[in-house]
Amino acid sequence: MKFLGIESSCDETAASVVEDGRKVLSDVIASQVPEHVIYGGVVPEIASRRHVENISAVVKSALEQAGCGMDDIEAIGVTYAPGLIGALLVGVNFAKGLAYSCGKKLIPVHHLRSHIAANYITHPELKPPFTALCVSGGNTMIIDVKDYTVFNILGRTRDDAAGECLDKAARAMGLNYPGGKNLDAAAKGGNFYAYDFPRPRVENSPLDFSFSGLKTNVVNIIHNKQQKGEEPDIKNLGASYIKAVVDCLTRNTFEAMSITGSKKLVVAGGVSANSVLRSELDLMCSKKGIELFMPDLSLCGDNGAMVGAQTYYEYLSGNFAGADLNAYATMNIDNLIK
Ligand code: KG4
């Protein structure tokens, strides 16, 4: 069965046709990154307007590239939470209109569920149960994935997401948006221990994260240097900072896995593209005898294919929505509202 997946939660308008949750027949993305670069980050109002302008053409070319018409599509899946509310509403309303006019079922897809599903495309053999580390611009969580649509949150950030923490540091260092990606490149080959950053813990909640202090710490170092007329040493400062963020992520993830006894780790979300996170996890998982699954680099960021993949599993679970489907800026992965 073929499913159309539509994504508009942030600054990418994307659509894809995916067969049975695993086979990508088309994957079209209209990225707005060049337009947001001049503002140093995503401007929500601009994002919503561009989604409105792009969505019809993106969906049309996803269908064309897959060689299908709407008659070949079993159901339409759309990202409805969490994300920028104005941006989400564009995808949700487009999907509702298309579903109604073509007489197709409408499937609400949680953004983090689809980030996890990006791994079903890269690793066709992957099946739940497993532990997932979800790291994106707005979320950081360790999740016990019991089944394709059954999730239990083991740990989460109490303040900033890891991606936000990397983006803000990059911005303070004068790097362009998207900060996390540019900081990763600028810090390549730097000394992980040139700067002594803490590895914060949340008291009495060992699986939760706290990144805001770390973010303030790096911003203060940069401002102190600038006040003395010095430029920050981006390579070493960036490498030490990324290593501190990655150490927090890996420490809590392996603690969670030692509690649950899980031997399968899936990484998901934009920060899963980070080169230090990928190589540290590779090394640590092989030492610990844990099977590691990471999305292909092309599927780490927001895309329609991951939505199309998760749509299949939501369909099998009977998770349908009506014409009253709304979009939500925040929503737990394990407790959906429709
Ligand atoms: O999952 P995503 O594309 O969007 C959200 O759903 O939030 O994640 C975006 C985040 C941003 O914070 C971005 O800086 C980060 O992913 N990111 C990276 C890298 N590429 C993207 N962070 C670290 N290293 C990268 N290579």
**Which atom of ligand 1 is found nearest the CA of 139?**
7
Instruction: Assess whether the C-beta atom of 304 lies below 6 angstroms from ligand 1.
Output: no
Instruction: Assess whether the C-beta atom of 295 lies below 6 angstroms from ligand 1.
Output: no
Distances (CA, A) of 160 to 21, 53, 139, 148: 31, 31, 8, 27
When pLDDT is averaged across residues 120-136 and rounded to a whole number, the result is 98
List the alpha helices (DSSP H) in the chain.
Answer: 33-37, 44-65, 85-102, 111-122, 162-172, 179-186, 212-227, 234-260, 275-288, 304-316
**Which atom of ligand 1 is found nearest the CA of 138?**
7
**Which atom of ligand 1 is found nearest the CA of 170?**
14
Which residues make Cβ contacts (< 8 Å) with residue 200, sequence separation at least 6?
209, 210, 211, 213, 214, 248
When pLDDT is averaged across residues 265-277 and rounded to a whole number, the result is 98
Q: Are strands 264-268 and 130-135 parallel, antiparallel or unpaired?
A: parallel
CA dihedral 42, 166, 5, 130 (to 10 degrees): -160
pLDDT-derived band at 338, boundaries 50, 70, 90: low
Instruction: Assess whether the C-beta atom of 179 lies below 6 angstroms from ligand 1.
Output: yes
Instruction: Assess whether the C-beta atom of 163 lies below 6 angstroms from ligand 1.
Output: yes
Instruction: Assess whether the C-beta atom of 232 lies below 6 angstroms from ligand 1.
Output: no
* Amino acid, single-letter form, for residue 253: T
Q: What's the gap in Å between 221 CA and the centre of ligand 1?
A: 23
In the three-class reduction of DSSP (H, G, I as helix; E, B as strand; rest coil), residue 223 is classed as helix
For residue 60, the model assigns a pLDDT of 98
pLDDT tens per residue across span 208-261: 999 999 999 999 999 999 999 998 899 999 999 999 999 999 999 999 999 999
In angstroms, the CA 160 to CA 180 distance is 14
* Number of other residues whose CB lies within 10 A of the CB of residue 166: 32
When pLDDT is averaged across residues 277-303 and rounded to a whole number, the result is 98
Task: Please report how the helices 85-102 and 44-65 are oriented relative to each other, as an axis angle in degrees rounded to 10.
Answer: 30
Which residues make Cβ contacts (< 8 Å) with residue 185, sequence separation at least 6?
none
The pair phi, psi for residue 72, each rounded to 5°, is -85, -10
Task: Please report how the helices 234-260 and 162-172 are oriented relative to each other, as an axis angle in degrees rounded to 10.
Answer: 170
336 has a pLDDT exceeding 90: no
Lookup: tokens for 185: 């490149």
> Nearest CA to 116 among 293, 275, 327, 261?
293
Q: Which residue, by CA, sits nearest to atom 24 of ligand 1?
A: 274
Is the N-terminal amide bond of 82 cis, ω within 30° of 0?
yes
In the three-class reduction of DSSP (H, G, I as helix; E, B as strand; rest coil), residue 105 is classed as strand
**Which atom of ligand 1 is found nearest the CA of 12?**
3
Sign of CA dihedral 307, 24, 54, 177: positive
Instruction: Assess whether the C-beta atom of 137 lies below 6 angstroms from ligand 1.
Output: yes
325 has a pLDDT exceeding 80: yes
